Chains A and B, each alone.
Chain A
Amino acid sequence: MTTSAQAAPAIQIRDLHKSFGSNKVLKGIDFHVDNGEVVCVIGPSGSGKSTLLRCVNRLEEPDSGQILVEGVDIIDPETDLDAVRSRIGMVFQQFNLFPHMNVLRNLTVAQQKVKGRSKKEAVEVARANLEKVGLSGRENVYPAHLSGGQQQRVAIARALSMDPDMMLFDEPTSALDPELVGDVLEVMKTLAGEGMTMMVVTHEMGFAREVGDKLVFMDGGVIVEEGDPREVLANPQQERTQAFLSKVL
C-alpha cells in the first residue's frame, strides 16, 4: 500500500444521494471514518443509516456523490469492486451465514476462492478467528444448529478471516434475543480495542457511548448531528436528536 493511501481516511463520503424510486433515502451525505476509528450511526428506522452503510461496499448503488475507500473511488467503473469488498468486512442483521456449509467452510470458502489461500492456511486463519469469537470446537456444526448470538459471532469470524482493513456492522444485534446481545457486543468491543476501523449502525446506545469514537445521528436522509458519543448522548444540540434520544434512552 502506498503512503498516500495510508494517509487517506478509511472511508470518505462526499455529497451522497440515493433514492428508491421516488423515495429519497440519502439527501447529500458528507462523512468520513478515519483509520482505527469506531463510528456509530444511530437514528430512527427509515433515516437512511443502513442504506448509507450498504453504499460503502456498494451493496446499494448510489445515485450521485463520491465514496472513497482508502482513497479508492469505488463508484468508478474501473475499480475492482470485488477486491475492495474483500478488504471490507460486513456483518448483517440477519447473519446471512451459508446454511449449506458448516462453520469451518463458512469461514474458509471466500479465503480460498477470493484470496487464493491454500486450504491449510485458510483453516488456520479460520480456527484463530473462531477462537477469537469464543466458538472454538464448533467447526463442524451447521449454522441452523447454532443460536442467533453464536451465528452472529461466526459471521464476524467469517468477515475477519478475510483480514479486512475495516468492518461494517448493520444492526448486528437487532435480530438477537436480549440475553444473546452481550456476547456479540463483547466481541465487537475486543475488535475495537485492537484498533479495527469500524462503522456500526446500531441501536445499542451503551455500546456507542463506551466504545465509539464518533457518533452520527441521522434522520430523514441527512446527518443531523455528529460528535463525541458521550457528549452527543448526554447533551444533544439539535432538537431532532433530543427528541430521538428522549425516546430511546
Chain B
Amino acid sequence: MALKRSTRRTLSRAVLYAVLLGVLLLVGLSADWATIRANFFAPAGIGNPFTGDWGTWPDLITVGVKNSLIYTAVAFGAGLVLGVVLALMRLSPVAAYRWIATAYIEFFRGLPVLLVVLVMAFGIPIAFNGWTPPGGTVGAGVVGLILVAAAYMAETIRAGIQAVPKGQTEAARSLGMSAGRTTVTVVLPQAFRIVIPPLTNEFVLLIKDTALLFVIGFAASQRELTTIARDFMASSATAGTATSLIQASILYLLITLPLTRLVSWLEHKQQKAR
C-alpha cells in the first residue's frame, strides 16, 4: 500500500485520537456518575453560588487554608533563617562548623518528614519538661517541618552562594570590606537572586508537607486543611462522603499551581538574563 507521506501522518494522528476517545468513552459509560457525584461532589459541600449557598467552603478556607498557610509561612521563615546559618557554616573556614552543618543536613535529609514531625510533636514536651513552642503540640510538630526544611534550604543556599563569582568577593574585599560585611552586602543578595526559584519550590513542598501535621492531635481551631477535610468526612453536611477531600484538593491546587507556574516563569527569566 503506497500512501503519501502526509496522508499516512494524518491517519496515524486520527488513530491516536480514536484511542483516546475510546478510553474516555469506556470510563465515562462504565462509571457510576450518580454515585460519584453523591460521594465526591455532594451538593451540601460544593454548594451552589447561584443560590448563595457556599456549602462547606467557608469553614475549609477560614480554618484549613488559613492554618495551612500560617504553618507553611512559619516553617519557611524559620527554616530559611536556619538554612542560611547552616549554609554559611558549611562554607566556614572553621572545620568544626563545617562538620556540624554537614552532619545536620545529611541527618535530616535522610529521614522521612513524617517521622521527624512525630518525634518533635511528642518529643519536645517530654524533653523540655512539658514546655512546648507556641501552638502547643502543633507548634512542636511545625518545629519538625522547620528542621527538615532548613536542611534542604541550606544545600540550595550553599549552591547559590557558591554560584556568585569569586571576583565579587575580591572586589568587595579590595575595597576594604570585612569578610562578614562582604557576605551580607555583596554575596548573599546575589545568592538569593539565584535561589529564588528553588526556594519557591521549597515553599510549595512545605505547603504539602503541612498535611503531615495530620498525625498530631489538634484543637478544632488549629486544624490545617487536610485534617479538617478528614474531619468533615465524619461530621459535617457532607459526612459519609469524600467530598471534603476533593474540596481540599481543589484548594491546595489553587495555591500550588500558580506558585509552580511562577517558578518556571522565574527560571525562564533567569535563563534569558544569562
State the A residues within 8 Å of B (CB).
Answer: 57, 59, 82-83, 85-90, 92, 94, 96-100, 109-110, 113-115, 144, 155, 158-159, 162
In the complex, are the beta carbons of A113 and B167 less than 8 A apart?
A: no
Chain A nearest Cβ from B6, distance in angstroms:
47
Question: Measured between C-beta atoms, what is the minimum distance from B182 to chain A in Å?
Answer: 10
Q: Pick the contact of B167: A57, A88, A94, A115 (CB < 8 A).
A: A94
| Contacts A83-B176, A86-B176, A98-B186 supplied; 12 other A-B pairs, CB < 8 Å | A82-B176, A85-B174, A85-B176, A86-B175, A94-B167, A96-B165, A96-B171, A98-B171, A99-B190, A110-B176, A113-B177, A158-B175
- Listed from nearest, the 4 A-B pairs whose CB atoms lie closest are A86-B176, A96-B171, A110-B175, A90-B174
Closest to A83 in B: B176
State the interface size on chain B (CB cutoff 8 A): 19
A96's partner among B168, B176, B273 (CB-CB below 8 A) is: B168
Asked if A96 contacts B167 (CB within 8 A), the reply is yes
The reply to whether B170 and A92 form a contact with Cβ atoms under 8 Å apart is yes
Q: Closest chain A residue to B189 by CB distance? A: A100
A142 to chain B, nearest CB (A): 11
- In the bound assembly, the distance between CA atoms of A73 and B168 in angstroms comes to 26
Check: B4 CB closer than 8 A to any chain A CB: no
B175–A114 CB distance below 8 A = yes
Known contacts A98-B186, A100-B190, A100-B193; decide if A114 and B167 are in contact (CB<8 Å).
Answer: no
B173 within 8 A of partner (CB): yes
By CB atoms of chain B within 10 A, which of A83, A88, A99 has the most?
Answer: A99
| CB neighbours of A110 from chain B (8 A) | 172, 175-177
Instruction: Give CA–CA (A98, B177) in the complex, Å.
Output: 13
